[in-house]
Structure 1
Amino acid sequence: MAEAVRHDKTARQLRLLSDALDSGRLGPVRRLVNTLSPAEIGNLLESLPPGKREVVWGLVDPEDDGEVLVHVGEEVRESLLAEMDPDEIIAAVEDLDIDDLADLVEDLPDTVIDEVLKSMDRENRERLEQVLSYPEDSAGRLMNPDVVTVRADVNIDVVLRYLRLRGELPDHTDHLFVVSKKHQYLGRVPLAALVTHEPSTPINRLIDDEQPAIDVEEGSPEVARKFSDHDWVSAPVVDDNNILLGRITIDDVVDIIRDQAEHQALSAAGLDEEEDLFSPIRRAFRRRMLWLGINLGTAFIASSVVQQFEGTIEKLVALAALMPIVAGMGGNAGTQVLALMVRGLALGQIAGSNVYVLLRKELGVALINGLGLGLLLGLIVLVWFRQPGLSLVIGTALTLNLLTAAAGGVAVPLVLKRMGFDPALAGSVILTTLTDVMGFMSFLGLATLVLL
């Protein structure tokens, strides 16, 4: 419900912007844009075609430029950066958090990167280089090295004086992290405890050591799962020696979850979640041509199976009208199982210990569906063509193909993951080919054996 309301709001804002831009009235556009958050501005910019996007981008408050760049996709970001002078880019990114700057820096022109690094103090430059040294989808790349740490051997009064001296806290700070003299992570202290206990209370009496730290090499999907399971707002990141390196906050995890959802939705169609909605025709053509070419190749595989039964189809023309039903039902059933498997693999819910239980369950569901739908389809064919043998053949073929779809839906993503491929990207093509081939082969093969 909330998502639908947000989409309606974005659609209304988009209509207002488009109408104002079409009429040449930039004043209302500027006022509307400057009432929005950076994330909302980024969403609107992604919804506008290039010409209008450039106009609106020029009306964004320069203080928001950096945050807006963080909230748009890679292709849109490149187009926005192309409209900016080097000095404007430097001014936009200089106040960003280290983790956000790490997301942007690889998209910046080399000359601008050098100037950005020169404008940073030594400590922040080393922090940025540290974050960039980790793999892109790791906790190290997500973390912000700017953390507030305290020692266990001091009391609340000392901590409060330190916080007043510091002046401000990083965003989403709900806990202070407690470290040893060697900067090893010991636990955390909630901010609320600092104001609900006596100033003389030692920090070591308030330490919560139950929250596990996140390893710096841990993958971002696992990080997102832990945040979801434990309702964290922030979490510490440590290395192999338990040295505190930084922290990950909930806003970064929300971005991960959104990116994962977009990836699963788009990769099944061979699309990239970073692709601009209004990307140039040539670029979109290059990206999609490969995927369509692969699909064309798999279609020929299925067609070659049909060709083997050309004589059967010539004698029983009704087969030509019915065989897409068997293949299509298998494809739909396989897609359902594949979606469950991809989600389970992404959430870490599928392991060797439960694969066979899952396979038996899916085969059982497929068998029941196959028998029920096969009986229904057989009755329809009997009424339609008045051929009991044909009814038996199509009902049996449908059941066999649904069983194939279930087995393939479980096995294909597991094999792809074992081989290092993305199941969400390649699984649908392979599984559809499998169910098409099995559907045509079982239906036409049984028809050849039973009806001729």
Structure 2
Amino acid sequence: MADTARHIRAAHQLRILSDALDSGRLGPVRRLVNTLSPAEIGNLLESLPPTRRNVVWGLVDPEDDGEVLLHVGEDVRESLLAEMDPDEIVAALEDLDIDDLAELMDDLPEAVTAEVLRSMDRENRERLEQALSYPEDTAGRLMNPDVVTVRADATVEVVLRYLRLRGELPENTDRLYVANRRHQYLGQVALSDLLTREPSTPINTLIDDAQPAIPVHTPANEVANRFSDHDWISAPVVDENNVLLGRITIDDVVDIIRDQAEHRALGAAGLDEDEDLFASPLRAMRRRSLWLGINLALAFVVASIIGLFEATLEQVVALAVLMPIVASMGGNAGLQAMTLTVRGLALGQLGSSNVRPLMVKEITVGVLNGLLWAVVVAAAAGLWFGSPMLALAIAAAMTINLVFAAAAGVGIPLLLRRMNIDPAIAGSIVVTLFTDAIGFFAFLSMGTLLLVP
């Protein structure tokens, strides 16, 4: 319901903005744009063709430029950065947190990157360089090094006095981290405890060590799973020596979850989640041609299987009429099993210890569905063409294909993962063509056996 309301609101904003742009009056456009959050502005910019996007980008409050750049895909971000002078880019990035800045640095021109580093003080430059030293999509890239730490031997009164002197706390601060003199993580203290306990209460009596720290090299998807499983708002990040390096907050994790959802949805069609909706046709063609080429090559394999039964098809034309039914059912069943498997891999629910029971379960589902729909399609084919043997052939092929489809839906994503190929992108193409090949071969083989004298 919330997603529907958000989509309606976004469509309404886009319509108002388009009407204002059509009228040529930029004042209303500027007022509208600058009443929106950076995320909403980013969504609007992605919804506009390049010429209109550049007009609106020029009307965004410069103070929001950096945050807006964080909320658009890489292709759109590249086009927006191309419209900015180096000085404008440096000014837009100067107020960003270190973790947000690290996310953008790879997209900046080298000259701008050097200028950004020169504009930072030594402490923040070292923090940024440390963040950039970790691989992308790991806790090290996600974390913000700006954390508030306290000592275990302090009292509530001392900590509250320190917080008052410090002034502003980092966003999404719900607890303070307790560290020793070597800056090793010991646990955390909730802000609510600090506000409700006696001033003389020692911090070491309030330490909560139930939440484990996240190792700095933990993959981003595992970080998201931990936040989801434990309802965390923030979590500490440590190195191999348990030294506290920073923290990850829920706003960063929401971005990970959203990116994963977009990746799975678009990857199934061989698309990049960062692709600009209005990218140039030539650029879009180059990105998509690889998977179309792979699809074509595999389609020729399927066509060659059909070619083996050319004589059968000439004698029994009904086989050609019914072939798409077998292939379609198998493809759908395979994609169902594949989607479940890819989801399990993404959430860390599937490993070597539980692959076998999943495979057995999916094959059992394939057998049951195969038998059920074999009866239905056999009855329909028998009535349509008046041939019991044809009905038997398609029933057998349907059962065989749905069983193989279930096995392929589980096995192919696992094989692709082992080959370091993203199953969310390649899985649907391979599974669909595999089930087509098995379906055609099974149906035409049974047709040849039962119908050709």
- The normalised TM-score by structure 2 is 0.99
2:142 — aligned with what?
Answer: 142
Residue deviations 1:293-323 (CA, integer Å, cap 9, x gap): 1111111110000000000000001111001
1:399 — aligned with what?
Answer: 399
2:60 — aligned with what?
Answer: 60
2:294 — aligned with what?
Answer: 294
- Residue 384 of structure 1: CA displacement? 0.3
Within 5 Å, give how 1:15-54 maps onto structure 2: 15-54=15-54
2:101 counterpart of 1:97: no
1:123 — aligned with what?
Answer: 123
Identity over aligned residues, as a percent? 69
Matched to 1:245, the amino acid is: L
* Partner SS for 1:108: coil
CA distance in 2, matches of 1:297, 1:351: 31
CA distance in 1, matches of 2:45, 2:252: 21
1:355 — aligned with what?
Answer: 355
Matched to 2:14, the amino acid is: L
| RMSD across aligned positions (CA) | 0.7
- Residue 289 of structure 1: CA displacement? 1.1
Within 5 Å, give how 1:380-395 maps onto structure 2: 380-395=380-395
2:272 counterpart of 1:272: yes
CA distance in 2, matches of 1:333, 1:179: 53
Within 5 Å, give how 1:48-447 maps onto structure 2: 48-447=48-447
Matched to 1:141, the amino acid is: R
* Partner SS for 1:189: strand
4+ runs deviating over 4 angstroms? none
CA distance in 2, matches of 1:119, 1:162: 29
CA distance in 1, matches of 2:355, 2:80: 46
Between 1:229-238 and 1:163-172, the stretch displaced more is: 163-172
Matched to 2:254, the amino acid is: V
CA distance in 1, matches of 2:86, 2:364: 62
CA distance in 1, matches of 2:104, 2:225: 25
- Residue 145 of structure 1: CA displacement? 0.5
Matched to 1:292, the amino acid is: L
CA distance in 1, matches of 2:392, 2:295: 32
- Residue 433 of structure 1: CA displacement? 1.7
- Residue 396 of structure 1: CA displacement? 0.8
- Residue 167 of structure 1: CA displacement? 1.1
- The normalised TM-score by structure 1 is 0.99
CA distance in 1, matches of 2:363, 2:369: 10
Aligned length, in residue pairs: 452
CA distance in 1, matches of 2:114, 2:308: 64
Consecutive unaligned residues in structure 2, runs of 5 or more:
none
Matched to 1:115, the amino acid is: E
CA distance in 2, matches of 1:90, 1:427: 41
Matched to 2:161, the amino acid is: R
Consecutive unaligned residues in structure 1, runs of 5 or more:
none
- Residue 417 of structure 1: CA displacement? 1.0
Matched to 1:143, the amino acid is: M
CA distance in 1, matches of 2:360, 2:89: 57
CA distance in 1, matches of 2:115, 2:286: 34
Matched to 2:47, the amino acid is: S
Matched to 1:237, the amino acid is: V
- Residue 130 of structure 1: CA displacement? 0.3
Matched to 2:85, the amino acid is: D
CA distance in 2, matches of 1:357, 1:109: 50
- Residue 421 of structure 1: CA displacement? 1.2
CA distance in 2, matches of 1:417, 1:39: 33
